[in-house]
Amino acid sequence: MSAKEKGKFEDLAKGDKVRYEREMKTYIPPKGEKGGKRKKDPNAPKRPPSAFFLFCSENRPQIKNDTPGLSIGDTAKKLGELWSEQTPKDKQPFEQKAAKLKEKYEKDVAAYRAKGSSDVGKKIPGRPASSKKKVEPEDDDDEEDEE
């Protein structure tokens, strides 16, 4: 491309840059609610471990004693290999225990939801793009309770 042809595009780019800067001076971003991450309710029941995790928690100390220099990842691989070598008959006690824990968890979740969860599990709005201040939560409800 010749310098004359290039100059034409450079002039267009300069004009476009001036227009962009002028528009950005008056631009106000929309104040929509941004999707915040949901906070986990500390009072919510914990999910139950699977049969494999129950197997791991039972067999991990034995593997650590047998091979003390094994890294965490290698220990997990070894446990995975042992689990896959187990027969369905050997896996059955872990699966039964996991099923019992799952039933208990489902009952706990039902009771937790029936009781009503707090506002902790709801989405929190993201902070506005223009504000740099920390927003403190309002505690209007606490003042009414004290009267």
**Beta carbons within 8 Å of 104's beta carbon, 6+ residues apart:** 48
Q: What is the mean pLDDT of residues 94-98?
A: 96
For the chain, what's the residue count?
A: 147
- Dihedrals phi, psi of 125, to nearest 5 degrees: -70, 145
Identity of residue 77: K
Euclidean distance between CA atoms 84 and 81, whole angstroms? 5
Take residue 106 and report the two structure tokens written for it: 């489902």
Residue 89 has pLDDT above 50, yes or no: yes
pLDDT digits (tens, 9 = 90+) for 4-61: 889 999 999 999 999 999 999 999 888 876 667 888 888 999 999 999 999 999 999 9
Q: What is the pLDDT of residue 91?
A: 95
Can you give the three-state secondary structure of the chain, one letter per residue? CCHHHHHHHHHHHHHHHHHHHHHHHHCCCCCCCCECCCCCCCCCCCCCCCHHHHHHHHHHHHHHHHCCCCCHHHHHHHHHHHHHHCCHHHHHHHHHHHHHHHHHHHHHHHHHHHHCCCHHHCCCECCCCCCCCCCCCCCHHHHHHHC
pLDDT digits (tens, 9 = 90+) for 109-142: 999 999 875 555 555 555 555 544 454 555 555 5
Q: What is the mean pLDDT of residues 66-91?
A: 94
Q: What is the pLDDT of residue 37?
A: 81
Instruction: Please tell me which residue, 87 or 126, carries the higher pLDDT value.
Output: 87
With contact defined as beta carbons under 8 Å apart, do 39 and 120 qualify?
yes
Domain ranges across the chain: 49-113
Indicate the pLDDT class of residue 144, thresholds 50, 70 and 90.
very low
Fold of 49-113: DNA Binding (I), subunit A (1.10.30)
